[in-house]
């Protein structure tokens, strides 16, 4: 098995009880993030069985849970993270997304561009935070972290 195949997520599921129903724009972003993540990702458990992996993401007792499984759907490891470090960046990200989606309908291109830059900046901040929190547990590249952050935002996080 090549390293590229071994360092790969082949299936992702979000705990549907944890998924917040958001605007159509946010639902579209979630769908795109899922598609892009499965098309291209770099993901590997540190010091554990090689992939490819199946990933389940959910919220349990106010914690973010990554249920990592092997190709045959056998549990490899649960990685549990506190939601507390993510709350502010997720809240800010949703606020700027709402402003961005409203702006698309009525503001000038330069105003939309400024909001989009802020949105991307917060998205990068959340992605880097995710990478930091997973350090020593999961290795992943920035693009994979960005897509996972989008999916985390889709979960029902009580802000």
- The percent of residues in the chain predicted with pLDDT above 90, rounded, is 46
Calculate the alpha carbon distances from 155 to 57, 59, 110, 150 in Å.
9, 7, 31, 9
Predicted model pTM: 0.84
Calculate the alpha carbon distances from 147 to 1, 57, 104 in Å.
25, 13, 23
Measured from the Cβ of residue 9, the count of other Cβ atoms closer than 10 Å reads 22
- Helix (H) or strand (E) segment spanning residue 10: strand 9-14
pLDDT tens-place string over residues 81-118:
999 999 899 888 878 777 777 777 887 787 778 777 87
């Amino acid at each position: 098995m090549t390293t590229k195949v071994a360092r790969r997520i082949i299936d992702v599921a979000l705990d549907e009880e944890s998924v917040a129903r958001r605007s159509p724009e946010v639902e579209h972003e979630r769908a795109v993030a899922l598609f892009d993540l499965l098309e291209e990702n770099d993901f590997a458990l540190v010091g554990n069985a090689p992939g490819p992996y199946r990933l389940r993401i959910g919220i349990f007792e106010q914690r973010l849970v990554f249920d990592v499984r092997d190709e045959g759907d056998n549990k490899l490891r649960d990685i549990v993270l506190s939601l507390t470090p993510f709350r502010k960046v997720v809240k800010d990200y949703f606020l700027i997304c709402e402003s961005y989606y409203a702006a698309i309908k009525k503001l000038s291109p330069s105003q939309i561009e400024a909001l989009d830059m802020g949105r991307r900046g917060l998205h990068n901040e959340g992605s880097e935070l995710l990478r930091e929190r997973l350090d020593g547990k999961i290795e992943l590249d920035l693009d994979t972290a960005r897509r996972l952050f989008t999916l985390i935002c889709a979960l029902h996080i009580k802000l």
